[in-house]
Amino acid sequence: MTLLEVLQSTTAYFTKRKVESARLNAEHLLAHALGRKRIDLYLEFERELAEGELAPLRKLVRRRGQGEPLQHLLGTVEFCGRTFISDNRALIPRPETEELVELIIQSTIDQKPSTILDVGTGSGVIALSLAAKLPDAEVHAVDISDEALALARENAARLGLAERVEFGRSDLLAQVDGAFDCIVANLPYVAATDRATLSREVLHDPATAVFGGERGDEMIRALIVTAAPHLTRGGLLALEIGLGQANALSALLTEAKYRDISQRQDFAGVTRFLLARYG
């Protein structure tokens, strides 16, 4: 079979298996299996592939068709212009979380944070992206999962940022000392009762990184209450939240004496972020 024929048959298989963006997934896996860049495939459409080239591809295609995330098969994910290691030790970072990083940058243009804490850092994408974008900031990151922290440290080393971010183990803020100019968190926000509505791909993420409790917002609520003593005067709390959670969480922020509370939408028009200051 030629490369183009393999690409077409793989796309058809993914479409049948209800894989979103079937053609794009097929291109990524074929390029990965051949050790090429995706754009290079278009220059080799007529080349016939040897059996030794097809065998590893077949395994990847079968696993993707069964719902294993593309990022796990590739072993990497793009986030804020950088390539991070991605596997089942932590949540696969979503594109909307890139918007959270940019919101923090925009919200601190006139008041650059000198200390930042990323709570529930997972693979470390938020903390490491902020460290790269704010070279003068002191960045800390915590997570309850030792496996996630190991992945985050691997990403820090890969990107040459190991000296810029201090990682530590903590259940939310229970093991954290000191106060910060900015606390950011993309905590689990899916309700346990919504499990049946999730895609096959999301269910490959660690359950502890997806489900926030019976309601979904329990961990975010706990952070809002406990973050205040860990924020410097006027410090920023930046949160990524779930669908339909904004109003209730904004009310809690008001009750907890935060100010300048704002709800922000992602590019899909979903109210996805909460920003607030304390003191």
Q: What is the model's pLDDT at position 107? A: 86
Q: Say if residue 111's pLDDT is above 90.
A: no
In contact, 141 and 121? CB cutoff 8 Å: yes
Q: What is the model's pLDDT at position 112? A: 73
In sequence order, what DSSP letters do the residues of 119-186 get, joined into one string?
Answer: ES-TTSHHHHHHHHH-TTSEEEEEES-HHHHHHHHHHHHHTT-TTTEEEEE-STTTT--S-EEEEEE-
Cα 89 to Cα 112, 143, 205: the distances in Å are 32, 12, 8
Q: Which residue has the higher pLDDT, 112 or 195?
A: 195
* Phi, psi dihedrals of residue 11, rounded to the nearest 5°: -60, -45
The mean per-residue pLDDT over the stretch 58-78 comes to: 97
- The alpha helices in 35-79, defined as continuous H runs, are 51-65, 70-74
Q: If pLDDT is split at 50, 70 and 90, which confidence band does 279 have?
A: confident
The mean per-residue pLDDT over the stretch 6-14 comes to: 98
| Distance, first Cα to last Cα, the chain | 66
Q: What is the model's pLDDT at position 117? A: 98
Q: At what angle do helices 51-65 and 22-34 cross, to 10 degrees?
A: 140
Mean pLDDT estimate for the chain: 96
Q: Say if residue 156's pLDDT is above 80.
A: yes
Q: If pLDDT is split at 50, 70 and 90, which confidence band does 79 have?
A: very high
- Dist. CA 85–CA 145, nearest whole Å: 17
